[in-house]
Chains A and B, each alone.
Chain A
Amino acid sequence: MHTATTHAQAHGHGHGHEHAHEHHEPGFWAKYIFSTDHKMIGIQYGITSLVFLFFGFLLMLAMRQQLANPGQPVPFVGKLLEKTLGADAASGGVMQGDLYNAFGAMHGTIMVFLAIVPLAFGAFGNYVTPLQIGAPDMAFPRLNMASYHLYFWGGVVMLVSFFIPGGAAKSGWTSYSPLATLADMDHLVNGQTMWLIGMVLLITSSLLGAVNFIATIIQLRAKGMTWMRLPFFVWAQFVTAFLLLLAFPPLEAAGLMQLADNVLKTSFFLPTGLVTSGGPVPASGGGSPLLWQHLFWFLAHPEVYVLILPAMGIVSEVIANNTRKPLWGYKSMVYAALAIGFLAFIVWAHHMYLTGMGTKISTFFQTTTMMISIPSVIILTALFISLWGGSIRFNTPMLFALAFLPMFGIGGLTGLPLGFNASDIYLHDSYYVIGHFHYVVAPGTIFGLFAGVYFWYPKATGRFMSEFWGKVHFFGSLVCMNLIFAPMFVQGLRGMSRRMYDGGATYFGNGVDPGVLWLNKFISHAALGLLIFQLPFIWNFFSSLFIGKKIESDNPWQATTLDWQTPTPPPHGNFATEPVVYRGPYEYSVPGAAKDFIPQGQKS
């Protein structure tokens, strides 16, 4: 019996005893709040971001209610909204325009910056990356702690902004100037100011995290862990970290300038001669609204790859493990991820075709946008081909990973018409864009993240999540996600604007019937269904801590990568002895081998 599992177990147990003698158990605050252990920080990130994910979803549900039944009070929470946010925001429990705008802006901000990125990068990256490269921790553990705490306080600032006079930021998650500066000029400290302060905290958190991840992956790889033996998940995190490192600072710069516009009354983004219904805006003028958009999208397009790459990494791990086959074209996938990382920096202005920046510039960005679809398709194709001829185990993580592929495919393909200048001009302000983006992020990225939760849960807790409730969660979510987002393509193609808070009732007032407004109700019901199908997940997540099936080995999925060759849950320092890597990450079903997998740390 020379399997790595038994080795790891033996080491793990020995280590556990050693550990108990060496260190005294840290207290509650040191262990759970001010932890420097990458696994605890990963769990902190995970739980915080899942809470934000749910909160952002609830904001959207309230908005969907308004779209389905314009002018009707929000059921259940209408009175509460009126009480907590004021009669201006929700008089009689009816969502007012400003509140709808605030919920919209905060839904986007929370989902992107407080939920998905922290979950994909902060939680999974923190928990899994050091384990997979055979490192005892991150390179800078205290920096890691600081980065979680900055994220947490950034989130608190965002949440508090709902309750200040004037309410939360209401100029979209993109916060376009001059709208963002003019939206609430009556209050010196308004929602937008809070948004900017929150963003500066979040950006700083991401920067520290990115520095830490890259340094860890470069410096702390175990002996024998060459670059081409890194699991694809690590590569995905590596490229993601570079995107965050280099794309976020320009938004920090832009955020500081918009903060100056709001507080010091400068005119970085305010053009000359700006007039609102309140008369001329008292500002020097001379600024450029386009400048904000350039700086914003310079971050926000790479951000899309920050959202998708970690999910691709998770899906790759799950697929290789559950097809019991090596990933098809591992090297091409790595190079494709690197190509995405590079190209992601030169496609940003495809979000700005409508700004009149000129056809020549549009042509450039249209070309680079078509180019970046190539490496994305390479990764997706490699994953599809990986399925071919595998003896697939259809467990819950695998189901989510499998669903990721077509869902991301739909999201990607519907993006092509938006990448072309000519077709984008028609589609840009319509629901089509919402459908496209959400296909990428909701049934795409979030499914990838769910796969990760079900996949690594046994490593973190020692127990499986329930397969039954996992499958209920999966099939319900898959159906509802599609019922929500597919009709949006129809609405968008019929020209329905994505910016009307009355759900399009204005059209009727103007004697126009686009014929797709009945879908509003349909989508909102599907969204409610999606809420219902998240309940099994919440139950499963918490109850499995206590009643989940216990794992019988440290490597319950019979996986090859180093993260499964640690004790469960991994102790402080992760590995008892320095792990040594002898082979590539996906040696499944090697002909002639005793088992259908050979762990990376196994010599022969």
Chain B
Amino acid sequence: MDIPYTVKPRPDTGLYNAKVGIWLFLASEVMLFGAFFSSYILLRVGAPDGFWPDVATAWPHGLLNIPIGTFNTAVLIISSVTVLLAWASLKEGNLPKFKKFMAATILCALGFLAIKSYEYNEKFTHYVIRLKDGTAVTGHLDIDGKSPRFWSLATVEAKKLESIKVHVDVPNQFRYPVGFKHESHAEAEAKAGGHGAGEHAAREIKTADIALLQAFIPKTGTFFAIYFTMTFLHGLHVLGGAIVMAYIAFVGDGMWKTDPERYTNRIEVAGLFWHFVDLVWIFLFPVVYLL
């Protein structure tokens, strides 16, 4: 006896096995991401009032690049449309058209990951520096014109630097996440009032004055921790989905000749997963970028 309903739907449920399977799997995924979103809420409402980085455990705002995030959202939504069109092309029996749409989907997925990596790198080169006088600044390091990643106070001390040059972010930048206008360095300097016009907007900070120097990495605070965990997990889903779809479309496409209905079902199931990954991002984007 062979396993029934692997391709044709079972009459009373109207579903073939893999479709039941993927919906159940997605239900568990809802619980997985649901737990992360719940944790986000709990950590955030538990954070003290005040402005980060002045208050160390306060919830930071406006650290993420909204235009890029918006663009990435659009990329992912487009990929959700193309995967649907790919499936529709198979239903039409048009394999070349299907492959074009699949290629577009996978390119979107890779584009999303590339942009996300750029954003991660932006964070890894961005620092919070707490001084021994109790104040804190954020900004980028400028070590001989380079902007290094993942440094800590220990790195600075190991390199025996007496002071480091820091392009300090404009104060208040993180307090007004909505409608905030980025100021140019010149404007920032004028406000800060430290340097003359034409000078580089940088501040020398003595190593001896630094209490803590840390890039925007997970251990820098619970906001960073949950931001990186959730987006990384989502990124893994994007990567996994892209690999599976690429495999089905460009390696396993022999099945189109032997069993076209089953092949179409595979794309449908992969598409359902892909829509879910998209949906997670549609929640993730407003929650971590905008709110």
A interface residues with partner B (beta carbon < 8 Å): 135-137, 139-141, 143, 207, 210-212, 214-215, 218-220, 245-250, 252-254, 256-257, 260, 264-268, 272, 283-288, 290-291, 294-295, 298, 573-578
Chain B nearest Cβ from A396, distance in angstroms:
33
- The 6 tightest CB contacts between A and B, nearest first, are A286-B57, A253-B35, A250-B35, A249-B32, A266-B225, A136-B1
Given A252-B32, A253-B32, the answer on whether A215 and B17 have CB atoms closer than 8 Å is yes
How does the 8 Å CB contact mask read for B23-44 relative to A, with 1 for contact and 0 for none?
A: 0110111011111101100110
**C-alpha gap A143/B15 in the complex (Å):** 19
Chain B nearest Cβ from A146, distance in angstroms:
13
**Closest chain B residue to A212, Cβ basis:** B21
Chain B nearest Cβ from A255, distance in angstroms:
10
Docked-complex contact A245 and B220, CB < 8 angstroms:
no
Docked-complex contact B25 and A246, CB < 8 angstroms:
no
Given A249-B31, A287-B43, the answer on whether A268 and B222 have CB atoms closer than 8 Å is yes
Q: Would you give 28 A-B contacts (Cβ < 8 Å), ordered by A? A: A136-B2, A139-B17, A207-B28, A211-B21, A211-B24, A212-B21, A214-B20, A219-B17, A220-B4, A245-B24, A250-B32, A250-B35, A252-B32, A252-B35, A254-B35, A256-B229, A256-B233, A266-B222, A268-B39, A272-B57, A285-B56, A286-B43, A286-B57, A287-B43, A287-B222, A291-B42, A573-B1, A573-B2
| A-B contact sample (20 more), CB < 8 A, given A211-B25, A220-B17, A245-B31 | A136-B4, A137-B3, A139-B3, A207-B25, A211-B28, A219-B10, A245-B27, A246-B31, A248-B31, A253-B35, A257-B39, A260-B218, A267-B225, A268-B222, A268-B225, A291-B42, A294-B42, A575-B1, A576-B1, A577-B1
- A135: chain B residues at CB < 8 Å are 3
**C-alpha gap A249/B34 in the complex (Å):** 9
Chain A nearest Cβ from B60, distance in angstroms:
11
- B25: chain A residues at CB < 8 Å are 207, 211
**Closest chain B residue to A241, Cβ basis:** B24
- B39: chain A residues at CB < 8 Å are 253-254, 257, 268, 291, 295
**Closest chain B residue to A261, Cβ basis:** B225
- B57: chain A residues at CB < 8 Å are 272, 284-286
The yes or no answer to B13 lying at the interface (CB within 8 A) is: yes
- A576: chain B residues at CB < 8 Å are 1
* Number of residues of chain B lying within 8 A (CB) of chain A: 43
How does the 8 Å CB contact mask read for B211-233 relative to A, with 1 for contact and 0 for none?
A: 00000011111101110010001
Docked-complex contact A286 and B47, CB < 8 angstroms:
yes
Among A212, A284, A294, A578, max chain B CB count under 10 A is at A284
**C-alpha gap A182/B218 in the complex (Å):** 18
Docked-complex contact B31 and A286, CB < 8 angstroms:
no
Partner of B226, one of A140, A268, A575: A268
Docked-complex contact A219 and B15, CB < 8 angstroms:
yes
Given A257-B229, A267-B222, the answer on whether A249 and B28 have CB atoms closer than 8 Å is yes
